[in-house]
Amino acid sequence: MNDRHGAQSFSCQTHLAGANRTPVRHWIEIVDEALTP
């Protein structure tokens, strides 16, 4: 089960965040988190 969703664009992120309780983050934030030690 996912604990968050990734979005392609910030407008998509805003749209998804309004319709869901699962946190929505821009995909580059997820990549940055994965690459940051």
For residue range 1-37, what is the model confidence (pLDDT) as tens digits?
457 667 777 677 676 677 666 677 777 888 898 999 8
Is the Cα torsion angle 11, 17, 24, 16 positive or negative in sign? negative
State the pLDDT at residue 2.
56
Number of structural domains in the chain: 1
Which residues span the domain enclosing 18? 5-35
Spatial neighbors of 25 by CB under 8 A, at least 6 apart, are 4, 5, 6, 7, 13
Residue 6 CB-density burial (10 A; 0-12 exposed, 13-18 middle, 19+ buried): middle
State the pLDDT at residue 1.
43
Q: What is the pTM of this model?
A: 0.52
Cα end-to-end distance, the chain, whole Å: 25
